[in-house]
Structure 1
């Protein structure tokens, strides 16, 4: 049978239409469901994590696994998606919002965490990545070795993804000793989370005169609640409308790109920054053994030759890189990033908290407002005696580092951190008298608007 050229053209067009329909159907599948996970015989799982297989061979099991089982190991896939034609779906404001407070130690992150911990509809976790660090890098508070950082970050991202989905059993792999029957008394700072110290997770009997279980401090939670049942904690997580996690163990916002671009997470990042001179002064007072040589420098006026200058250099390098990324407003951070200066929050806690909740699309509960009023008017003496308290005179605390550092220490810090200081609006001190004159603020009036 012979076909005319018109018939051939019609057949070709029909074939193209069929292929196009097939491709559209294929691409409409959830992106992560195209991936299967398993050990890679050519890599070491201890350092590289689970392998990702997004080849055509993975299509055989398409539709047989749920998204819930595919949370781990897709960092490489999701981070590379931005450079391809794959586009993320639009987000629904009514969806569950996941919040990550990105900070460094002694920058005010515990205070910011409480702004979410006090909200009745937020499930809050305080530093769950502590356990990842303790298991993988027990020798180091924060490794500066690139290879060790990659190991830590890969595990941290996987765990964060699981925790936001309320798969809290994933945390058990890093807790030492390993929980028995999903029960542990070793969760780091459990008492910092109201959700983990309240029914149904904690069923401690009410004391005399108590109408409800409201525990006054972290130690009381641990004493009265007993070991944590991780399964009950996971149930409590699922009951909340939102989830917030505070961490000082992710160096830069770019390390979170895979999570930010994950369409299942609806993740928003609040990057908390503070004047590095204030961070240094607070660390010297709090971590006395680690910063012993810094205290020696302050006491004698002579810088020890074996002083670890990297303790502050790394802070400024990470901050500068991370903030520069955020303020450059890359497309993948649109609607996902807000920069918050600790000093601004300390000066105007209620207004800045309203701004923060507005960016996140959350309703500011009166319980949060009440907590702010009650916890930002404490005495400076109290904050000096209790290093980890969130009760303090926040406005007075913002720049009191100027009374705790020697002029030489300030000069060194602002020299190595000058690009960061300029970027964030912190003024340079030029002489000792200016340093001690607290009536002259070293914080410029700057407005850092969320990237919407």
Structure 2
């Protein structure tokens, strides 16, 4: 009897001890999990950037490269040229993936750049855009201004602590060549320190698609601005026909272009918009701007865009516009005259030669940003025949009228350049 009682006590003691130990383990694991979760949250907060985010939404051949330079030339800005290039032009393909990636880079988070681009390549097989992955930035020549700042910042980093960088992603960094591929830690730091993060996006088809991004970034404390750049479809088609488009493909291209115009116009202009459209408009975070208005008076157009952001037009942007949009031929003549000036120092001479070379190169480039912009606006009227014009107006006439473009029905109307059609 005593033996059984003793055995029972030992069993109870063993069970109690086991439960106590088990409880201690569970509590320790729970506490560790809570600490880990807390650290994850804190780390996530560390990556969050609070500031102005500008999404420049447009179509191909709509002057977005030129308008994008208004942000690229801002010394305290961070501008990305077509970061969604690998995702292709079909917005129905990888739509959620491209939106997710756009949201990340809007917050200066480039941690998924490689995996995102590889996945896009594997799906689309667009090998011509492989440079985005190999350089870790799409179209490096388009990022010349920001890459110069990147290079300078990279050279200032040493092998010791860079904990003061924004964000403090790592404590040490191995010094290497400050060229391509980019060091994404330094790239992210440069992005975080900018007053504006601006992204030129052609591969998001509609404004409503941006709802999730705008909401998330706003909740993080950002001011998100959407600028939709539109252009007369006759000008778009004329430009495309001079490059890659063939006449049999005009209808299909028009369906895409004018379909976007209609969807965005209806979303923004309808009397009873949903919560997103109402807040976007009422809070002054959406701006529709026509390429023709900017091309006619680029400085005024740039001032309007920066006023939309509650900012003054930066002096360096104003100077670039004046340099790039005056008659390129006249500017080339001025620079050539400078080279003939025998009083120039060697440094001044080298700078003038460099500017002249860049100006000539940009003038020849069909994707360039140096143009007599006021002449570009009417170029289609000198090149498109009435059959193509009629085809465009039949497909897009209704939305063109709503956007303020006038339709024409005769060669005489087309050739009368004194009659402004916008």
Aligned residues: 316
Per the alignment, residue 372 of structure 1 pairs with 321
Change (3 A) 1:195 1:230: farther
Unaligned runs of 5+ in 1: 1-58, 72-93, 134-141, 144-148, 206-222, 295-303, 444-452
* 1:333 aligns with one of 276, 280, 285: 280
Normalized per residue, the structure richer in helix is 2
2:305 is the counterpart of 1:343: no
What is the aligned-residue RMSD (CA, Å)?
Answer: 3.3
Per the alignment, residue 437 of structure 1 pairs with 416
Which structure 2 residues correspond to residues 73-88 of structure 1 after superposition, within 5 A?
Answer: none
Q: Retained in 2: the 8 A contact 1:343–1:398?
A: yes
Moved more, 372-381 or 393-402: 372-381
Distance 2:241 2:152 in 1: 36
**C-alpha deviation, 1:286, in angstroms:** 2.1
**Larger RCO (alpha carbons 8 Å, 6+ apart):** 2
Per the alignment, residue 99 of structure 1 pairs with 54
Distance 1:380 1:254 in 2: 42
**C-alpha deviation, 1:390, in angstroms:** 0.7
Moved more, 369-378 or 226-235: 226-235
Larger Rg belongs to: 2
Distance 2:65 2:214 in 1: 22
**C-alpha deviation, 1:349, in angstroms:** 1.2
3-state SS in 2 of match to 1:419: helix
Change (3 A) 1:67 1:150: farther
**C-alpha deviation, 1:363, in angstroms:** 3.2
Change (3 A) 1:363 1:438: same
Per the alignment, residue 174 of structure 1 pairs with 116
**C-alpha deviation, 1:194, in angstroms:** 4.0
Per the alignment, residue 197 of structure 1 pairs with 147
3-state SS in 2 of match to 1:417: helix
Per the alignment, residue 126 of structure 1 pairs with 81
| TM norm structure 2 | 0.68
| 1:27-86: CA deviation from partner (whole Å, max 9, x where unpaired) | xxxxxxxxxxxxxxxxxxxxxxxxxxxxxxxx9998564287499xxxxxxxxxxxxxxx
Unaligned runs of 5+ in 2: 1-33, 123-131, 156-176, 331-359
3-state SS in 2 of match to 1:267: strand
2:223 is the counterpart of 1:319: no
Q: Retained in 2: the 8 A contact 1:402–1:435?
A: yes
**C-alpha deviation, 1:229, in angstroms:** 2.0
Q: Retained in 1: the 8 A contact 2:114–2:133?
A: no
2:396 is the counterpart of 1:417: yes
**C-alpha deviation, 1:170, in angstroms:** 2.0
Distance 1:104 1:67 in 2: 39
Change (3 A) 1:340 1:169: same
Change (3 A) 1:224 1:411: farther
2:375 is the counterpart of 1:396: yes
**C-alpha deviation, 1:421, in angstroms:** 0.8
**C-alpha deviation, 1:98, in angstroms:** 0.1
3-state SS in 1 of match to 2:86: helix
| TM norm structure 1 | 0.63
* 2:190 aligns with one of 219, 233, 236: 236
2:263 is the counterpart of 1:309: no
Q: Retained in 2: the 8 A contact 1:184–1:228?
A: no
3-state SS in 1 of match to 2:409: coil
Q: Retained in 1: the 8 A contact 2:101–2:116?
A: no
Change (3 A) 1:195 1:63: farther
Per the alignment, residue 66 of structure 1 pairs with 41
Q: Retained in 2: the 8 A contact 1:98–1:244?
A: yes
3-state SS in 1 of match to 2:151: coil
Per the alignment, residue 28 of structure 1 pairs with none
Change (3 A) 1:68 1:122: farther
Q: Retained in 2: the 8 A contact 1:107–1:342?
A: yes
Per the alignment, residue 342 of structure 2 pairs with none
**C-alpha deviation, 1:378, in angstroms:** 3.1
Per the alignment, residue 6 of structure 1 pairs with none
